[in-house]
Amino acid sequence: MEHPTLPSRSRGPFASVKITDVAALAGVAPMTVSRVLNTPDRVSQLTAAKVRAAIEQLGYVPNLIAGGLSSRRSRMIAAVVPTIASPMFHEPVQVFTDAMGAAGYHVMLALSGYEPEAEDAQIRAVLARRPDGLLLTGAHRTPAMRLLLSDAQIPVVEIWDVSDSPTDILVGFDHGEVGAAVADFFAAAGHTHYAALLASDPRAMARSQGFAQRVAQLGHVMVAEHRLPAPAAIRDGRLGLRAIAQRLAGRTALFGSSDNVAYGAILEAGVLGIAVPNQLSVCGFGDFDISRDAEPGFTTVRVDGAEIGRSAAEQLLLRMNGATKPNRVLVPHRILPRAST
């Protein structure tokens, strides 16, 4: 079918088939075409068939921008994440996008980097598109942003973190708790001296802080705490270990703020002749592919990013479909002991 009557062919630059064209061809009112598309149950089989034929013949693509203005529903969700360069974020984003897609929503992704002002600017910008919901990273908002979000009157999920006063829905876990758990894990293995290599993003810092606090509570020793730029890659882990190598005690337990950092440290330890795990025990964070697939694999903390994405989508959908009370989902984390400890 070569779209014989395609209006777009003859209308110049503003060419586009619209609902009235379809309606005319099918011999029905535009509203009926709309119903075929949005509420097929309320249209007779026969009419629907005629309309669908017309749609097909004309190559009609509904204009969601017009529909959105009219219905006040954009069928779009905005997601604001620092970056997609890390599995930490692209996993939840990918799963969230798929899940929302299955429910008929498009996800618009905005990348905010690691500067708070950039994040606020991105949120402001996407709000102009009138999303039906919002996915944000982290749970700490400025008062001005909270006001803006509450004015927007849409459900908001915050992921990857917990807070006592979330904006709305929360799907995450306590990063400080993770750090403490790692310290306990090391202590249980007989460690007394510790080090940390942490990226300077808010959540990595929370993990590191929880780690250091627990070490202090145990009466043990932090021999080094080294900060890396965010987002931190394998190279940063290598440089980091090199930077703190001299301060390492006879036997040290190292917590890396991500698996990339931890793996870099392990590689550099090899170069420096520091034995892993005997002289240096290493625990990463994230359960990225590399922690499992490296030879040998190394110990890390697993948090199911896919589960966060799925749960975020589920909660948002529930709320958009009428659930009134915002929920709070705590995602579990667990340490996966492997050969590096």
Q: Which does 38 bind (CB under 5 to 8 A by kind): a copy of itself, DNA, none?
A: DNA
25 binds a copy of itself (CB under 8 A): no
In the chain, the DSSP E strands lie at 76-81, 106-111, 133-137, 156-159, 169-172, 193-199, 221-228, 252-256, 280-283, 300-303, 328-330, 333-336
Q: Which does 170 bind (CB under 5 to 8 A by kind): a copy of itself, DNA, none?
A: none
- Distance between CA atoms of 116 and 111, rounded to whole angstroms? 12
Q: Which does 268 bind (CB under 5 to 8 A by kind): a copy of itself, DNA, none?
A: a copy of itself
- Region of 40-48, 107-115, 219-227, 316-324 interacting with a copy of itself (CB under 8 A): 107-115
Q: What string of H, E and C letters represents the secondary structure of 242-291?
A: HHHHHHCCCCEEEEECCHHHHHHHHHHHHHHCCCCCCCEEEECCCCCHHH
Binding footprint of DNA on the chain (CB under 7 A): 14, 16, 18-20, 27-35, 37-38, 41-44, 46-48, 62-63, 66-67, 69-73
- Distance between CA atoms of 277 and 325, rounded to whole angstroms? 48
- Distance between CA atoms of 144 and 264, rounded to whole angstroms? 40
Q: Which does 107 bind (CB under 5 to 8 A by kind): DNA, a copy of itself, none?
A: a copy of itself
Q: Interaction with a copy of itself in 61-80: which residues (CB under 8 A)?
A: 61-66, 68-69, 72, 74, 76
Q: Number of residues in contact with a copy of itself, rule: CB under 8 A?
A: 64
59 binds a copy of itself (CB under 8 A): yes
Token pair of 127 as six digits: 């709000």
14 binds a copy of itself (CB under 8 A): yes
Distance of closest approach, residue 191 Cβ to a copy of itself, in angstroms? 25
Q: Which amino acid is at 7?
A: P
Phi, psi of 337 (to 5 degrees): -75, 125
336 binds a copy of itself (CB under 8 A): no
Distance of closest approach, residue 79 Cβ to a copy of itself, in angstroms? 9
- Region of 40-48, 163-171, 248-256, 264-272 interacting with a copy of itself (CB under 8 A): 264-272
- Region of 10-18, 218-226, 250-258, 320-328 interacting with a copy of itself (CB under 8 A): 10-18
- Region of 121-129, 158-166, 243-251, 279-287 interacting with a copy of itself (CB under 8 A): 121-129
Token pair of 99 as six digits: 């899940």
CA distances from 12 to 9, 25, 56, 64 (A): 7, 21, 22, 22
260 binds a copy of itself (CB under 8 A): yes
Q: Who's near 301: CB < 8 A, 6+ residues apart?
A: 178, 181, 182, 283, 284, 285, 286, 287, 333, 334, 335, 336
Phi, psi of 315 (to 5 degrees): -65, -40
List interacting residues with a copy of itself (CB under 8 A).
3, 6, 8, 13-17, 59, 61-66, 68-69, 72, 74, 76, 83-85, 87, 90-91, 93-94, 97-98, 106-111, 124-130, 147-148, 151-153, 233-235, 238, 260, 264, 267-268, 270-271, 289-290, 292-295
